[in-house]
Chains A and B, each alone.
Chain A
């Protein structure tokens, strides 16, 4: 395989709050290659959004990237080294804030946010906002940028783009606004687009339209995508490879087909089992027990052990790093679960433990008391 476009190594982002340190992203690694759509899937609180803002170094205070490496096309977006005083400090080749702004954000990596209603500035015209971003990131003159903006609006299916160019965001429906945001991302002709739950707020029919449009345009422009979502159906529909996040970690990574048909991690399996299906009637749902613990005080060992039906004592003690479980020659399929032999920590000999999932008081109780 060629060099990855984007490579993330052991990325850690933490929030320093009054109540303690929230380890929102805790050592995730993944690659994105040219022309593919990589999924980042997980429930609320898994740290997906923090992970994506970390990629652009846009984490707001009190959050901070505290460790790891982000490399994009050979440039170091983030990287630390040990300073003279033993404290980590940014490496020399790490891009400065100004370089990030001028070379990376928008120009190389664009982002589509989740909330189309809030992301556009209410007091400027839609076209004006689009034009500004094109001007900044493609070195076009104002007139050329406007032409390009109108062309892009047409491309994403905005009717009568010439006249809508001068309208304000509140005159657009939610689906239309999301199209505008997609137009912004594409118009800057970046190599990578991060789509942060772009269809979550939309109706299914609109979501369908937008996903179809994105797949078409992705082929046309050969842009890579990181597609962040909580919806396994969307993953199944558009992603090539998938990373599943749970509580700040990537617990499984594989090609999309393998994720659904050769599921390795119990969390992924549980997530799939808990979903009602539109194409067949499921009479009994099998929900994941309990709720996701807070990232401020994650469970010891495997973070999923408190809700895992396969949990054993060793799960409470050993924290598994994701390992490749695929056979040689097969595409990578990694999972972070000690029940696989590759981990060699004596899962089979370990005694099953009682968790919410394996017994105990009825479901869904007290995240506050989950870990005593």
Chain B
């Protein structure tokens, strides 16, 4: 592959991609009515031009040669983030610096030419290959688009790449349907590699594959990374896969990045309650393990109107007590459980003693908190569920620092020496300590954790 290596102007270990305060909102209106849609811009019919805030204020770096794992549940915005980073979607605001150039500011032909250096692999092996195109031309298409080689050269390179990704070069003339899922993902790999990119975004590349095939493809991807000096942004919802392939891991929740650290650090010393919950939730293929503990309750809130402050706070098991109260931990967690139960209407009874027995058996808060709980119980007794919910939410959940301030901290890692970013107010003290220590050392650490707005 002589003469095809791209200009390697970014040295190993330096940021290849820098994402700064990236936001992507979607219009939530339009296209709602199928059939004979006659018109959509009529004023006196009520419409809510609400935005889905799919990605909000995300910053991170990806260093040359590394694999950054991006993990989160469906709907958390990880795929949107990937597409925005690649400029397949136009960011609402923020910047994406790729090799120093801000992709957010370019478009059209210059952007198209940039695509030679960054490629993408998709989740669905069924739909990511044009069913009417043979495998050979599929692999050649990006080369053709960037004017690489002549026809014969492209064919030769396509065949070479097919072999590299573990396919038979003889398959050049086959249509995608003749391949299994794993093989199609290999074709996808070959296509992405054809233009010799520096950076590949892998959007759940193995989640549609069977376990045994998954391992084959993951191994191939790692081999190719070493051989072609690739940088991966690897998106997955499966933490096992992420743990296997990543160097560093970022966790997303509801459009925001909640934690970013080196792999070992993140898995062994997770700081954010969401990361902890996620790790607890993964089933372990071992019947003797303890199984999952402390499961999250409730559903992910809507990204149209996300919670203020920390977006995880509505489900956080360790929400910080508002400063106005002085409850014990047990009392506070009872209050929290009660507030959420009322919000979800999780019980039927309106009987005070019964409710008290169920939610405040071991610890009943006194003082102001006790008065508020009494008042709420009064509302419930009067079947005024809405009032009870409002009272509890306003006095307790919305008064927490988690609701009033957006968290962003950096703590000292326990494993390795990378930076550890976490968006949880509970790490505030640790972050201040880490910051102080860093200042004391007065050593400029390399910019790795992204644009961290450490505390005030």
Direct contact between the two chains A and B in their complex (CB within 8 A): yes
**8 interchain residue pairs of minimum CB distance:** A287-B215, A233-B283, A159-B344, A276-B244, A288-B212, A160-B345, A274-B215, A203-B73
Q: In chain A between 357 and 372, which residues have their CB closer than 8 angstroms to a CB of chain B? A: 361-368
Residue in B closest to A273 when the chains form the complex, CB atoms: B215
Minimum CB–CB distance from A157 to chain B (whole Å) comes to 8
Q: In chain B between 267 and 300, which residues have their CB closer than 8 angstroms to a CB of chain A? A: 267, 277-289, 291-292, 295-297, 299
Considering the chains assembled together, what is the distance between the CA atoms of A286 and B374 in angstroms? 60
Considering the chains assembled together, what is the distance between the CA atoms of A257 and B183 in angstroms? 34
B74 at the interface (CB under 8 A from A): yes
Minimum CB–CB distance from B358 to chain A (whole Å) comes to 14
Q: Is the CB of A205 within 8 A of B281?
A: yes
Q: In chain A between 187 and 210, which residues have their CB closer than 8 angstroms to a CB of chain B? A: 203-209
What total of chain A residues lie within 8 Å of the partner, measured CB to CB? 58
Minimum CB–CB distance from A158 to chain B (whole Å) comes to 9
**Complex interface: chain B residues within 8 A of A342 (CB):** none
B224 at the interface (CB under 8 A from A): no
Q: Is the CB of A275 within 8 A of B285?
A: yes
Q: Is the CB of B237 within 8 A of A236?
A: no
A166 at the interface (CB under 8 A from B): no
State whether A230 and B213 are in contact (beta carbons under 8 Å apart), knowing that A205-B278, A276-B241, A285-B219 are contacts in the complex: no
Residue in B closest to A284 when the chains form the complex, CB atoms: B219
**Complex interface: chain A residues within 8 A of B211 (CB):** 43, 230-232, 271, 274-275
B51 at the interface (CB under 8 A from A): no
B182 at the interface (CB under 8 A from A): yes
**Complex interface: chain B residues within 8 A of A159 (CB):** 344-346
Considering the chains assembled together, what is the distance between the CA atoms of A361 and B169 in angstroms? 12
**Complex interface: chain B residues within 8 A of A206 (CB):** 73
B107 at the interface (CB under 8 A from A): no
Interface string of B143-164 (1 = CB under 8 A from A): 0000000000000000000000
CB within 8 Å of B: which residues of A?
A: 43-44, 154, 157, 159-160, 173, 175-176, 203-209, 211-212, 230-237, 256-257, 259-261, 270-272, 274-279, 281-282, 284-289, 291-292, 361-368
**Complex interface: chain A residues within 8 A of B183 (CB):** 291, 364-365
Q: Is the CB of B73 within 8 A of A274?
A: no
Q: Is the CB of A286 within 8 A of B287?
A: no
State whether A363 and B241 are in contact (beta carbons under 8 Å apart), knowing that A205-B296, A208-B295, A291-B182 are contacts in the complex: no
Interface-central residue, B218, B244, B279, by most chain A CB under 10 Å: B244
Considering the chains assembled together, what is the distance between the CA atoms of A313 and B263 in angstroms? 44
Not counting A259-B287, A279-B286, A288-B215, a sample of 20 additional A-B residue pairs whose C-beta atoms are within 8 angstroms of each other reads A43-B211, A204-B73, A204-B283, A205-B296, A209-B295, A211-B283, A230-B210, A233-B283, A233-B285, A236-B283, A257-B288, A275-B211, A278-B240, A278-B267, A281-B264, A285-B218, A287-B216, A363-B216, A364-B167, A364-B217
State whether A277 and B284 are in contact (beta carbons under 8 Å apart), knowing that A204-B239, A205-B295, A364-B186 are contacts in the complex: yes
One of B74, B244, B348 near A285 (C-beta < 8 A): B244
Considering the chains assembled together, what is the distance between the CA atoms of A364 and B243 in angstroms? 23
**Complex interface: chain A residues within 8 A of B394 (CB):** none
Interface-central residue, A159, A259, A261, A272, by most chain B CB under 10 Å: A159
Q: Is the CB of B287 within 8 A of A257?
A: yes
Q: Is the CB of A364 within 8 A of B279?
A: no
What total of chain B residues lie within 8 Å of the partner, measured CB to CB? 56
B440 at the interface (CB under 8 A from A): no
Q: Is the CB of A364 within 8 A of B278?
A: no
One of B166, B171, B180, B279 near A363 (C-beta < 8 A): B166
Interface-central residue, B264, B281, B289, by most chain A CB under 10 Å: B281
Q: Is the CB of B216 within 8 A of A236?
A: no
B427 at the interface (CB under 8 A from A): no
B214 at the interface (CB under 8 A from A): yes
Minimum CB–CB distance from A200 to chain B (whole Å) comes to 11
Minimum CB–CB distance from A237 to chain B (whole Å) comes to 5
Can you give 16 A-B contacts (C-beta < 8 A)? A44-B210, A203-B74, A208-B295, A231-B283, A236-B286, A260-B285, A260-B286, A261-B288, A275-B211, A276-B240, A287-B213, A287-B218, A288-B212, A364-B216, A365-B167, A366-B168
Residue in B closest to A259 when the chains form the complex, CB atoms: B287
Minimum CB–CB distance from A314 to chain B (whole Å) comes to 24
Considering the chains assembled together, what is the distance between the CA atoms of A211 and B424 in angstroms? 28
State whether A368 and B166 are in contact (beta carbons under 8 Å apart), knowing that A277-B285, A278-B240, A287-B216 are contacts in the complex: no
**Complex interface: chain B residues within 8 A of A274 (CB):** 211-212, 214-215
**Complex interface: chain A residues within 8 A of B214 (CB):** 274, 287
**Complex interface: chain B residues within 8 A of A367 (CB):** 180
Residue in A closest to B299 when the chains form the complex, CB atoms: A173
B178 at the interface (CB under 8 A from A): yes
Considering the chains assembled together, what is the distance between the CA atoms of A230 and B263 in angstroms? 27
Q: In chain B between 186 and 220, which residues have their CB closer than 8 angstroms to a CB of chain A? A: 186, 210-220
Q: Is the CB of B284 within 8 A of A279?
A: yes
Considering the chains assembled together, what is the distance between the CA atoms of A292 and B210 in angstroms? 10
**Complex interface: chain A residues within 8 A of B218 (CB):** 276, 285, 287
One of B182, B277, B344 near A160 (C-beta < 8 A): B344
Considering the chains assembled together, what is the distance between the CA atoms of A363 and B166 in angstroms? 6
Residue in A closest to B76 when the chains form the complex, CB atoms: A203
Interface string of B31-61 (1 = CB under 8 A from A): 0000000000000000000000000000000
